[in-house]
């Protein structure tokens, strides 16, 4: 496996990323950090951590125009660094694929730490020659690796991630309808990535590459799967403002990827599970559910003044029961797979999730749709913290 780690202004977190990579239990491994013209001291931190030297790749062709230098670690021979002018995450990923020498490509963000057995477990999925890509589980780093207790904003995201990875994504994967392999942790066959033209620029490169891989899988009778026992940890936003900006970008990225792959999705809406789920569930159902929810909130506020709103009460009671059931199953599944999870506080967060975070999701959805048509190019990056993590 070749792990590709694009880095842009990642200096505060890199020591944990490197330490996490050194803890991985996997033999046939190479790591390629790509410094994408960072404006902070990312390259200096990598130089200090890795004792960088010149890297002779053996490739005779001229270096891509964006590449400034190639380096190999003097401490850890399997770790390499590519220093390049700033040209975006997608170009960094494609540059990493170009220089990678292994059969499988692992993509990670610069703030990510893999569980020590993550690659061993992921490799098992690729024993099946028909598997061309697989996603793993992503957990919030501040919940598992932080010395202090996480705040409310972090806890909201912890529960949201757990519900997303242990219920929603698992269900989609079971029905061959996985629509996104997270950019924080995904594994791909290198030859297939090259065959479909690599990663493409956009706000949601991880969604886009997943949809194109699913199209390839449909044409060639291959598989895109989900490996639930392969775990990665990532930093999440610690302020409400940062969270809103991140999630709005995710929504814009989703819209961009759907539009870029609309021909495949709409043409196969009734003969492909993925296309059906994207068009009917994610687009139509999600939009309709948002409208219904807002209407019911307004009706409740109006009817309270005139009496008890029975129909709306039954609607919300049903929703509450379903959400509690959904959340409890997700927490129990996460606790089973990751015993270090502190599950107790998450049960209390279910109430907060229903009372507050579901309204935030509507905000993400609406703001993402509106702002997409005014600015669908700006890629907002979450500010890194200076947290002290234990690995």
Would you state the structure tokens that stand for residue 157, as one six-digit string?
């995201």
Residues 23-37 have pLDDT tens digits of 999 999 999 999 999
Does the pLDDT at position 154 exceed 90?
Answer: yes
1 in Cβ contact with 28 (< 8 Å): yes
Out of 158-167, 247-256, 368-377, pick the least confident: 368-377
> In terms of Cα–Cα distance, which of 166, 167, 140, 156 is closest to 351?
156
pTM of the model: 0.91
At residue 375, the pLDDT reads: 74
Percentage of the chain lying above the pLDDT 70 cut = 93
Tell me which architecture the domain covering 2-239 has in CATH. Answer: Alpha-Beta Complex (3.90)
> Which residue intervals of the chain are DSSP H helices?
14-22, 42-50, 89-99, 118-125, 141-144, 152-163, 169-174, 190-195, 205-220, 240-260, 262-267, 273-276, 286-304, 310-337, 344-352, 358-372
Out of 274-283, 304-313, 352-361, pick the least confident: 304-313
**What are the residue boundaries of the structural domains of the chain, listed by start?**
2-239, 273-372
């Amino acid at each position: 496996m070749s792990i590709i780690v694009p880095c842009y202004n990642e200096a505060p977190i890199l020591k944990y990323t490197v330490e996490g990579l050194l803890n991985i239990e996997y033999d046939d491994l190479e790591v390629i950090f790509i410094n994408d013209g960072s404006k902070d001291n990312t390259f200096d931190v990598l130089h200090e951590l890795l004792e960088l030297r010149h890297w002779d790749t053996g490739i005779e062709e001229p270096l891509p125009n964006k590449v400034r230098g190639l380096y190999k670690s003097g401490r850890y021979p399997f770790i390499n660094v590519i220093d390049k002018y700033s040209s975006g995450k997608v170009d960094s990923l494609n540059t990493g694929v170009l220089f990678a020498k292994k059969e499988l490509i692992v993509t990670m963000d610069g703030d990510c730490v893999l569980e020590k057995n993550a690659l061993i477990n992921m490799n098992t999925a690729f024993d099946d020659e028909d598997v061309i890509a697989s996603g793993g589980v992503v957990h919030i780093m501040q919940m598992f690796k932080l010395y202090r207790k996480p705040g409310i904003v972090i806890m909201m995201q912890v529960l949201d991630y757990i519900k997303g990875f242990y219920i929603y994504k698992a269900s989609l994967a079971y029905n061959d309808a996985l629509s996104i392999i997270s950019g924080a942790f995904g594994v791909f066959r290198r030859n297939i990535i090259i065959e479909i033209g690599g990663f493409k620029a956009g706000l949601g490169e991880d969604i886009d590459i997943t949809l194109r891989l699913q199209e390839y899988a449909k044409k060639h009778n291959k598989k895109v799967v989900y490996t639930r026992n392969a775990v990665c940890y990532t930093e999440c936003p610690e302020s409400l403002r940062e969270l809103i900006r991140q999630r709005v970008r995710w929504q814009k990225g989703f819209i961009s990827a759907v539009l870029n792959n609309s021909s495949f999705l709409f043409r196969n809406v009734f003969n492909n599970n993925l296309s059906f789920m994207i068009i009917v569930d994610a687009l139509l159902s999600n939009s309709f559910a948002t409208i219904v929810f807002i209407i019911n909130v307004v009706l409740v506020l109006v009817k309270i003044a005139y009496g008890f709103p029975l129909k709306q009460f039954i609607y919300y009671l049903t929703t509450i029961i379903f959400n509690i059931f959904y959340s409890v199953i997700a927490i129990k599944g996460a606790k089973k797979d990751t015993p270090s999870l502190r599950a107790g506080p998450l049960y209390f967060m279910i109430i907060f999730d229903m009372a507050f975070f579901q309204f935030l999701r509507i905000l993400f959805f609406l703001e993402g749709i509106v702002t997409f048509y005014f600015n669908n190019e700006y890629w907002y990056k979450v500010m890194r913290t200076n947290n002290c993590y234990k690995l």
